[in-house]
Amino acid sequence: MADAKISIEQIKKLKELSGVGLTDAKQALVEADGDFDKALEAMRKKGLTKAEKRGDRETREGLIESYVHDGRIGAIIEVNCETSFVAKTDEFKDLAHKLAMQVASMAPLYVSAEDIPEDVMTAKKKEFEENFKGPENMKDQIIGGQVKKAFADKVLLDQPYILDDTKTVAAFIKDAIAKTGENITVRQFKRIELGVTE
Length of the chain (residues): 198
pLDDT, residue 170, reads 94
Would you list the domain boundaries of the chain? 2-54, 61-111+154-193, 117-152
- Please report which helix (H) or strand (E) contains residue 196, including its range: none
Secondary structure E strands in the chain? 61-69, 73-81, 160-161, 164-168, 185-193
Structure pTM? 0.67
**CA dihedral sign, ordered 36, 40, 46, 47:** positive
The CATH H-level superfamily of 61-111+154-193 is Elongation factor Ts, dimerisation domain (3.30.479.20)
Contact 99, 91 (CB under 8 A): no
**Local confidence pLDDT in tens for the 198 residues of the chain:** 445 578 888 887 777 666 666 777 788 888 888 888 888 777 766 665 555 555 556 778 999 999 999 999 999 999 999 888 999 999 999 999 999 999 999 999 999 988 999 898 889 888 888 888 878 888 888 888 888 888 888 999 999 999 999 999 999 999 998 888 888 999 999 999 998 876
| CATH assignment, 2-54 | 1.10.8.10
